[in-house]
A = this chain, B = another copy of it.
Amino acid sequence: MVDISQSVRVGIGLIGTGFMGRCHANAFGSVAGLFDLPGEPVKAMLADVTEAAAEAGAAALGFERWTADWQALIDDAAVDIVAITAPNVLHEPMAMAAIAAGKTVYCEKPLSTTAASALRMMEAAEAAGVVTSVGFNFLRNPMIALAREIVTSGEIGEITGFRGRHAENYMADPAAPHSFRTDPQGGGAVADIGSHIIAMARYLVGPIAEVSADCVTLYPERPAGPGAEEMRRVEVDDMTHALIRFAGGVGGSIEANWAATGRTMDLSFEITGTKGAVAFTQERMNELLLYAGSGARAGYRRIEAGPSHPPYGRFCPAPGHHLGFNDLKVIEVADLIGSHVEGGRCMPDFREALAVQETVEAMQTSSQERCWVTVPGLGR
C-alpha cells in the first residue's frame, strides 16, 4: 500500500469513457489499495465528446474535473499521464499533443491505424523522452510472466517451435455489421486481435523476421451498420493464417480469427523446446501448462496462479482465487505509474507497439503478394 508520507501525486487525465475508458478508470482507482506505488494516482480530469457526457462520466468514475476538449486535458497542469481510449484514428493527434506537452502517454492498442503513423508517434516520443505505454494488457498476466521466465531461462531448453492463435467469435455471424473494426483503418482481424498474439510471440520468443500469410475475408459484404438493410463491401480479413520465422530462426505459425465460432478468447500458444514445452490459453487465464522432465512420471502439468507468481499476491494471499481481466489492467497501470515516477521503459511501449504493427502489415502484404515478406524495422 502507498506510503503517503513519501508519495508523489500522479494526475491522471483520461480520454474516453467506453469499455476501455471505464476499465482504465477502475484500474487507476484500485491500484493504490493493491500495490506499493512510488506515486499516488489521482483521477484528475476526464474528457469525453460532450460536456454532459464528460460530467456524467467524471461523477460515475470518480474524476475531479471534466472537459469536452481533449487538448485542454492534455495541457492541464494537474494531468501527468494522458490515457487515450478514443477511436484509433485519434490516437496519433492525441499522442502527439501529449508528447508535445511532455506528458507520459498511455495509449490503447493498436498504437495507430498504420505503421507509418505509429512510426511518427514512436519517433516523437523518443525524441521528447517521454514515457509511453500501450495497452497489450494480456502480457501483464502473472502466468505469462511465468511462461517468459521458463522460456528465457532455458528451463525447457532451446526453443524449437511456436504455435500461436487469437481466435474469438464476435464477427462469426455474417449479419454482424460493419464497424470501425471492419473499416480498412481498423485493419481486420489480423490487426484487431492478431496484434495480441504477435505481441505475445515477441514477448516470449523475440522479434518476428519473416512471414507468409493468408488473409481470408469470409463475408465479402456486411450490413452497413446495426440493423441496416444496405450491404457494404468488406476489405479486411476475418481470418488470417500465417507462417512465421523469428529473427533467431525459430519457425512457427500464427492464426488470427474473429469468426471462430465456439471460441471466446483463445489467445493461446504452445512453445516447444528441446527439453520441455509451455502452453496457455486466455480462456483459462489462471493456468499455465508446463511439460518438463521425462520418463514414467512426465506429463503436462497444470500450474494454477498463486502468490508464487508475482504480482498475483497483490490481489489475493492464496492460490485458487483467480485474477480476472480487469485485474490485468490494474497491473498495467501499476507498471505505468512506476515508470512514470522512476523512469525507464514501460514495456510494451511505442517502440514495441510499432514493431507489432509492422508485423501485422507484413502479413497483409504477404497475403496480397502471395509470397514471404520480411518484416520492416528489424534491427531498428
Contact = CB atoms under 8 A, between A and B. Distances in A.
Contacts of A168: 318, 320
A295 interface: yes
Contacts of A264: 304, 306, 318-320
Interface in A250-307: 251-253, 255, 257, 259-266, 272-277, 279, 282-285, 290-292, 295-304, 306
Interface in A102-135: none
A292 B262 CA distance: 8
A301 B245 CA distance: 31
A325 to B, nearest CB: 4
A297 B290 contact: yes
Contacts of A291: 261-262
A49 interface: no
A371 interface: yes
Nearest to A278: B262
A33 to B, nearest CB: 5
B325 A321 contact: yes
A163 to B, nearest CB: 7
Tell me which of A56, A243, A245, A260 has the highest count of chain B C-beta atoms within 10 A of its own C-beta: A243
A242 B163 CA distance: 12
Contacts of A238: 160
A224 interface: no
A26 interface: yes
A322 B324 contact: yes
A240 B216 CA distance: 21
Contacts of A257: 161, 272
Stoichiometry (number of copies): 4
B372 A320 contact: no
A299 B301 contact: yes
A148 B236 CA distance: 31
A10 B173 CA distance: 44
Nearest to A22: B33
29 contacts: A1-B57, A2-B60, A4-B60, A26-B30, A32-B62, A33-B62, A161-B239, A173-B274, A212-B370, A213-B243, A241-B251, A243-B243, A257-B272, A261-B277, A263-B277, A264-B318, A265-B319, A265-B321, A296-B308, A296-B309, A297-B303, A298-B301, A300-B301, A301-B302, A321-B325, A324-B325, A326-B327, A370-B372, A371-B371
Q: Which 4 A-B pairs have the closest CB atoms?
A: A265-B320, A324-B324, A264-B320, A262-B291
